[in-house]
Chains A and B, each alone.
Chain A
Amino acid sequence: MILHAPDLVFLAFSAVKAVAVALVVLTMVPGSVTAERRLSAWIQDRRGPNRVGIPFTNIRIFGLGQGLADAAKFLLKEQFVPASVNRIYFNLAPILAMVPALVTVAVIPFSPGFDLRPIAEWIAGFLHWDEATVQAFQISGVVANLDVGLLFVFAVISLSVYGIILAGWASNSKYPFLGGIRSSAQMISYEIAMGASVVPVFLVTQQLNLGKIVEYQVQNGWLALPHLRGGVVGVLTGLCLAFSFLVFLVAAFAETNRLPFDLPEAETELVGGYHTEYSGMRFALFFLGEYAAMISASAIMVTLFLGGWSLPLPWLNGLPMPQSVFGWALPAWLAGQGMPWWFGFVSVGVFLAKILVFIGFFIVIRWTIPRFKYDQLMNLGWKVFIPMAFVNIFLVAALVLARA
């Protein structure tokens, strides 16, 4: 057996991280569904679901228990299968809609890493661990540290079309079919704009590894915000990257099938779109998939353009860092040098907070902007965003050359 102790430590912590990340995403889903209902109620001047709290008590916690109640309802409802559907694909489609959104999160760095070596050294005193095992307790803040992380994200996103298109086809019904066809055309179109909009990020950071992209932003400032250093070239690069962020943001709305681009499930035209024939937990899986995709899209945007787990500090983007605030001396790690060990845990909170802001943004947009017409959607994708994203690539390449 070639099972070394450091490998075992690595495997154990990887498993813990994988389960923890999946659990966090899955708990955020009912939370954001409830948030969506409350926010929509607020926008429409209603109260919304504010009653359900902790079961068997009178504690309401802003109606957050509604998600649990919804889940119980979905599980208990009849799993109705219409007569002439293609059974295999009908059952497969909800799974395919759910999985990609969860897989994407595996490569997203949520923290600079956890240095648990002090604890390991303490335990090593009792259990006689060797030095290599103790060193293995320096844990990275990402489930899978892939060198091609960003491309992996795109690969998985590109597979997420199958769930919707197969659901539409397998239902053997006209409205779902139209929804599936619409969604495949829409998602393929906006994938191109999305892919083209991140090329400037590669060009500037010279990295595909998401962890290293975040580290670049800790050192040099967030990519979506205007850079105040580097003279004219630096500022222009910042503007181009901000435009990239805009394109990515719009494409993310189209990829996650959210309003104003929710044509695959346009209720007024297609009844419910691709999930018309689904009920019970199968429908809930599509629902979960949509919200999980929203969460992972937010996580990708935060990682690529808004500094990932780093704190929102103005001097990261070029302002001079003050020596002290109200007489308190500022430590050097706030400028990105030598993080203390506990910052790994704080940064998880920072990262989650940024994601929550984006989810709130997704929700507010949904209840503010009306749905596009299909030709408008296609024109916007192919005639506006794709050419502009390509021009942007050449601009940023020229600026990077000018800086070098």
Chain B
Amino acid sequence: MRWVVRSIVRFASGTASNRKSSQRMEPFFFWVLAVGLVASAIGLVVFRNPVTCAVCLVVTLVMEAALFVTLEAFFLAVVQVIVYAGAVMVLFLFVIMLLDVKEEARQSLPWAKVIWVVGIGGGAVIGVPRIASVFPGAGQALHWGEGKGGTSAAELGRLLFSSYGPLFLATGVLLLVATIGVVVLCRKDPEA
């Protein structure tokens, strides 16, 4: 109990008054959020009602945003909620409800597929860090949150438009191509 209160106090006072005291993430928040995140992610796969799955995904995304907050990446957390939880998932729900997806509710879990997915996912969890560690500069974190003055958003913007400029542009073009692709694929010819 005392540990819980202490970590709440340290986090609250650290984020608001002096930044120095909460440089590392408080374990209490990490465990609560991590357990909640994994639980809702499992729920997303296990539940058969599509609306419940979508709501589970929303909870997962919000929990992930909260984890970003404990890492003091406020901008990332907020953008995560705006883009994924606030816009993408609402459209998901919209489509699920409009199409009235109900068949899934009667099927049981396809266990063979589940085993495959768990196997590949487990392999990725073990394998990806090993592959990533080969690349130079893998161990160095990107400390844009705690730099020289200014809001973290301003620094992130500077990074995106200077050193990551070409990648940022490429992502933009990719999204534009995807949007045009959707319009082309879904367009019904009024003549036909």
Contact = CB atoms under 8 A, between A and B. Distances in A.
Contact of B6 (A2, A148, A155, A162): A2
A145 B16 contact: yes
B82 A154 contact: yes
B41 to A, nearest CB: 19
B126 interface: no
A227 B65 CA distance: 39
A180 B90 contact: no
Contact of A155 (B10, B55, B82): B82
A152 B65 CA distance: 11
Contacts of A6: 13, 17
B75 A148 contact: yes
Interface string A146-177: 11100110111111011001100100000001
A20 B6 CA distance: 25
A380 interface: no
B81 A155 contact: yes
A217 B78 CA distance: 25
A88 to B, nearest CB: 8
Interface string A72-91: 00000000000000100100
Interface string B82-105: 100111001101100110000000
Contact of A151 (B16, B82, B94): B82
Contacts of B82: 151, 154-155, 158
A162 B17 contact: no
Contact of B86 (A14, A148, A159): A159
B85 A184 contact: no
B87 A165 contact: no
Interface in B45-99: 51, 55, 58, 62, 65, 74-75, 78-79, 81-82, 85-87, 90-91, 93-94, 97-98
A3 B6 contact: yes
A169 B51 contact: yes
A208 B93 CA distance: 30
A119 interface: no
A1 interface: yes
B152 A188 contact: no
A3 B81 contact: no
B120 interface: no
Nearest to A177: B97
B9 interface: yes
A6 B79 CA distance: 32
Contacts of B51: 86, 89, 166, 169
Nearest to B96: A169
B151 A181 contact: no
A165 B93 contact: yes
Given A2-B6, A191-B86, A181 B75 contact: no
A151 B12 contact: no
Contacts, number: 107
B1 to A, nearest CB: 12
Interface string B142-183: 000000000111100000000000000000000000000000
Contact of B97 (A145, A157, A165): A165
Interface string B7-24: 001101100110000000
A10 B78 contact: no
A207 interface: yes
Contacts of B130: none
Contacts of B78: 148, 151-152, 154-155
A191 B87 contact: yes
Nearest to B82: A155
Interface in B84-139: 85-87, 90-91, 93-94, 97-98
Interface of A: 1-4, 6-8, 10-11, 14, 86, 89, 136, 144-148, 151-152, 154-159, 161-162, 165-166, 169, 177, 180-181, 184-185, 187-188, 191, 206-209
Given A8-B9, A148-B152, A188-B91, 9 more contacts: A10-B12, A14-B16, A147-B74, A148-B151, A155-B86, A165-B90, A166-B51, A169-B97, A208-B153
30 contacts: A2-B10, A3-B5, A4-B13, A7-B17, A11-B9, A11-B13, A89-B51, A136-B17, A144-B16, A145-B16, A146-B74, A147-B153, A148-B151, A151-B82, A152-B78, A154-B86, A155-B81, A158-B85, A158-B87, A159-B86, A162-B55, A162-B90, A165-B90, A180-B97, A181-B97, A188-B87, A188-B90, A207-B151, A208-B153, A209-B151
